[in-house]
Structure 1
Amino acid sequence: MGFAYIFATIIFTVYGQLILKWKIDKYGSLPEEWMDKMAFIFRLLLDPLILSGFLSAFVASLFWMAAMTKFNISFAYPFMSLSFVLVFLLSVFLFGEPVTSQKVIGLSLIVLGIIVTSQST
């Protein structure tokens, strides 16, 4: 069950990041003026999907607390790096973000690191 908690933490984290990116892109760039920035942020905070991203982060934290009851943090935390991999892959498909050799190499190193750290006891 412990790995399900880690997996749920990752899924809720990734959802939150992607939904925030998607909705914020719809609103456009942050204005230059301070008061306009505050109004912009306030509008963002009233968006139900953006609020769902914040809620998702909270739910991810709850699952992470549950995972901490099952694993040492030095074992569990490297798995959180999978969120980088999932956000990258989904951002390519959902937002058309570029795939570069540097990104692929970096993500490969992350996955290799997860494999190596999960082998130690």
Structure 2
Amino acid sequence: MAQPSSLYLALILFTVTTNAAAQIMLKKGMSQLGSLNLAADGLIWTAFSVIFNPWVFLGLCTFVVSMASHLTVLSRVQLSFAYPFLSLAYVIVTAWAYFAFGEDVGALRIAGVALICFGTLLISMS
């Protein structure tokens, strides 16, 4: 396996960013739909409502882009190096959830995010 180059680090960060963006789009779409009620609406109608919500559909497409990028990275970089970087998506999503969605992010979550950042820094130095 090749040593990670700046190109692959950029692809890893692209993967992380698109992964986080997909989660944010999925949340926005599902927030528009509200609580799902399979019993009242039925499975087929619910599935179509979810899949064809523009934000959900865009989020799913973004996941495909993220996965393609990740597969490219995995073809050249060790899994034990590349995969932990995906945890940085938690950092992006938590910040976005707080600022854009007004979600409560308490001290324990902030401490968890700090540990994720520290751990990823250690892995990047290996």
Alignment TM-score > 0.5, same fold: yes
Calculate the aligned-residue CA RMSD, in Å.
Answer: 1.5
Task: List gaps (5 residues or longer) in structure 2.
Answer: 1-6
- Structure 2 residue identity aligned to 1:47: N
Distance 2:14 2:64 in 1: 12
Partner SS for 1:29: coil
Query: SS of the residue aligned with 1:33?
Result: helix
After TM superposition, the structure 1 = structure 2 runs for residues 10-49 of structure 1, keeping only pairs within 5 Å, are 10-31=16-37, 33=39, 35-49=41-55
Higher mean alpha-carbon deviation, 36-45 vs 88-97, is at: 36-45
The structure that is helix-richer by fraction is 1
Identity %: 28
> How many angstroms apart in 1 are the aligned matches of 2:38 and 2:23?
24
Report the TM-score when normalising by structure 1: 0.91
Q: Is the 8 A contact 1:30 1:37 kept in 2?
A: no
Paired with 2:112 and 2:14, the residues of 1 have a C-alpha distance of: 24
Q: Take 2:31 and 2:56, find their aligned partners in 1: how far apart are those partners?
A: 11
Stretches (4+) displaced over 2 A: 34-38
TM-score by length of 2: 0.87
Any gaps of 5 or more consecutive residues in structure 1?
A: none
Aligned length: 120
